[in-house]
Amino acid sequence: MAKLLEPLTLRGTTFANRIWVSPMCQYSCDAEGAPGVPTDWHLVHLGGLAVGGAALVLTEAAAVVPEGRISPQDAGLWNEEQARGWTRIVDFVHSQGVAIGVQLAHAGRKASTYRPWAGQQGSVPPADGGWETVGPSALAFGGYATPTELDLDGIARVVTGFAEAARRADAAGFDVVELHAAHGYLLHQFLSPVSNHRTDAYGGDLAGRSRLLLEVLDAVRAVWPQEKPVLVRLSTSDWVPGGWDVAESVELTRELAAHGADLIDASSGGNAPEQQIPVGPGYQVPNAARIRRETGVPVAAVGLILEPAQAEQLLVSGDADAVFLARPLLADPRWPQRAAQALHAPEAVAWPPQYVRATRAPVPFVQPRV
């Protein structure tokens, strides 16, 4: 059996294989009539990925408070109407024998922006449905609006927001929660000296800058069932001099594991417009490998992992325990099933009975365009 197709168990949850769906924002909620509530688009999008054979489907970032959305059209989990909207999606994914998780997020200073195809860039003004943003410090990201520095009461509301969202996620039936501490969003903003210039207990050294993330993790773990895993997505490097780096990610991972995190989703970048990222196939894997090697904590790799043989090799070599895929799955939602055929184990990934006729003749693996 190929390593990529072997089960993986975290706490009381066993994933049928190690091909997992990375969170991918869809910017497709009704911003006015039902803000933050997932729609039929989300059901079809996430349901289609579950049908394709991945063992874990993570939703897009779900904001834990209204002002935590990246765009007015982002999904949320700050009220019960949103939780009910997610429940029908959870139920369908489960009907396919697939686990589902929700990524809990707060965009911080990168909130209230136009969705990618809006034809405009930057911050949406309040007059057009946007809102004032917040951050660890009053430092703007690029040309975005300058955020208001969070005071201690504001920080406490952030922690409560994450905990309440996790409680709703459990009630909706999610198997996993992932805390989004990457890509320049609020928890990452606190971690990085690029965006955190505070001089109180939430700034300064690594202990201060990581305080909010650890408080959020503690609050989530207090309401999230012990048998269910908590993942943390980290940007393992800011890719700028003097920014957050992989050495600090290693130290933080040890703390996260001690506070109840079960796996690190190792991404990078997003917090500094001047970042210089050496993009190429598997370009983030070395950081994931270092975290796994130096901490012993399970890690998932992500970023330009395109071919089954590439994914298999990084697992066999011990660089990661699972792989998250994004754009390859948008191009080909059947990637896991085709990967099983390419790795000579077609029976290792389930096909829905409605589609099983597709397995009667070899289906060549086609490299998706990304």
Q: Active-site positions?
A: 185
Which residue has tokens 């901490």? Answer: 295
**What own/partner pairs with CB < 8 Å and gap ≥ 24 does 89-92 have?**
89/38, 89/42, 89/43, 89/46, 89/47, 89/59, 90/172, 90/173, 90/174, 91/173, 92/43, 92/46, 92/47, 92/50
Question: Between vectors from CA 71 to CA 164 and to CA 33, what angle results, nearest 5°?
Answer: 75
- Give the CA distances from residue 271 to residues 73, 117, 225, 277, 321, in Å, rounded to whole numbers and listed in that order: 22, 21, 32, 12, 26
Question: Between vectors from CA 327 to CA 326 and to CA 328, what angle results, nearest 5°?
Answer: 95
Instruction: Give which of 298, 323, 303, 326 is closest to 313, Cα–Cα.
Output: 323
Helix (H) or strand (E) holding 189: helix 186-191
Residue type, 33: G
Which residue has tokens 């270092």? Answer: 290
What is the bridge-based pairing of β-strands 13-15 and 8-10? antiparallel
Cα separation of 338 and 332, whole Å?
9
User: Are 102 and 38 a contacting pair, CB within 8 Å?
Assistant: no
Cα separation of 174 and 180, whole Å?
16
